[in-house]
Amino acid sequence: MDLRVPLSESLTRRRLAFLMALGVRVVRDGTSVGDLALFAYKMGYVPKGGGEKPSQVGAAEAIARLTGEEANTFFSLLDWSVLGRLWALLTCDEQKFFQETYCLTAEEQESRWQVAVDSHCHLDRWSIKVGVSLDGNILTHLKDHSPLVEIEVNVKAMVTNFCDPPTYPDVSLLKTLSSMRCFPTIGLHPKGASRYSDTDINQFAKLLGRPEVVGFGEVGLDHSVPYTEWLGQSILLRRVLGFLEERHVLILHCRGSKGDQDGREVNMRLLSILHGLISPNQRIHLHCFRGDLEMFRAFTDSFPNTYVGYTHKTSDLSPAALLALRTIPTERLLVETDAPYFVSPTIGPFSSPNVVGLAARNVGRIRGESTRDVLTATVSNFEDLYRLKL
């Protein structure tokens, strides 16, 4: 149903077939698109803001020419907020049937879906939550189990972070993922600092040597845990930074305590550890950045090759963090999902890399930039940071 794809008779007929089949599933046999629109209205499913878009008008008029009905009788069905609520009435098997039967062709997807990159996700944790295997079929699994989202994008690549020793990939999986542009990184999450054994750290160091591994992380500090665990995190970080190679991007996790909303204390502590242990030229990805402008400048003053990543979850950023997001230079910006985390009622119980378009939209709204401009910039920034050409 993506309305950004150029109109064609084939596409219009598939849209009509989709709506009629949807009517049969959620109402009854013989339901017309007008009947389905009336059902949605009586259920309280009404469009939310924005007014009529040219793409919606064109799609509705094209369908009306096939059905003989007035376009305005079912125009609401082409609004994402209405369609999403009807979609939620389907079972998982029915949703899968619709996705397989009425999907866009590859040419149609390329024609309008803008290229995007998810600069930070966890395919191992995502696979466990969804209940699928992490293997050569991961792109199919992502397609089958990803939520229906308003901002469709063509996810050209993603960085998948492995930071739990029990789910570290073997060499075969590293090669498989890399070949599919699911670029792996290897880390040790700071929350597990007290649990890691020498065997875990040796395995971490060994995998870092693989050419498929593009990044070192995520590693860092997490002060959301009890104070008694903070020292262990610092000791672990100092110990493992010795394995960092020039070719790696350093992916940093930095989360403050409950009273440290902008992460000022934890960011300063992290910077104090990094000074003297890593090169000033080190390429750094500050993942899920929530700091203020002073923290951003503190990092870039010490490490000029620092980039910051934001997810779609921008609504709870502090005023100081919002100011930073508005002000940070475009050439230092990344978007990410941290999938399977950062869920919402519209996303469902787990996120996936395909919601990175929402991150671009929300970041753009705060910065006064279009979703398209944010995606264009962040893909370019990803290529510069990771030295990868898509």
Residue 185, pLDDT above cutoff 60: yes
Name the residue with tokens 């600069």.
Answer: 119
- The answer to whether residues 283 and 272 belong to one domain is yes
Express each pLDDT in 122-132 by its tens digit: 999 999 999 99
- The answer to whether residues 221 and 326 belong to one domain is yes
Please state which of the ranges 52-66, 69-83, 283-297 shows the lowest mean pLDDT. Answer: 52-66
The answer to whether residue 132 sits within a structural domain is yes
- The answer to whether residues 38 and 127 belong to one domain is no
Among residues 72, 92, 111, the one where a domain terminates is 111
Domain encompassing residue 65: 9-111
For range 363-374, the mean pLDDT: 96
Q: How far apart are CA 201 and CA 11, in angstroms?
A: 53
Residue 290, pLDDT above cutoff 70: yes
- The answer to whether residues 119 and 263 belong to one domain is yes
Most confident region among 4-18, 46-60, 136-150, 155-169 by mean pLDDT: 155-169
Please tell me the number of Cα atoms within 13 Å of 228 on its side-chain side: 1
Among residues 65, 86, 111, the one where a domain terminates is 111
So what's the pLDDT on residue 104?
Answer: 76
- The answer to whether residues 132 and 48 belong to one domain is no
- The answer to whether residues 362 and 351 belong to one domain is yes
The answer to whether residue 368 sits within a structural domain is yes
For range 292-297, the mean pLDDT: 96
- The answer to whether residues 64 and 91 belong to one domain is yes
Please state which of the ranges 78-82, 111-115, 178-182, 379-383 shows the lowest mean pLDDT. Answer: 111-115
Among residues 47, 82, 111, the one where a domain terminates is 111
- The answer to whether residues 188 and 337 belong to one domain is yes
pLDDT bracket for residue 99 (50, 70, 90): confident
The CA distances from residue 151 to 41, 147, 184, 261, 313, in Å, are: 24, 11, 25, 29, 15
The answer to whether residue 4 sits within a structural domain is no
Q: How far apart are CA 184 and CA 121, in angstroms?
A: 10
- The answer to whether residues 89 and 120 belong to one domain is no
For range 299-323, the mean pLDDT: 96
So what's the pLDDT on residue 44?
Answer: 92
The answer to whether residue 258 sits within a structural domain is yes
CA angle 182-376-293, nearest 5°? 95
Number of domains in the chain: 2
The answer to whether residue 175 sits within a structural domain is yes
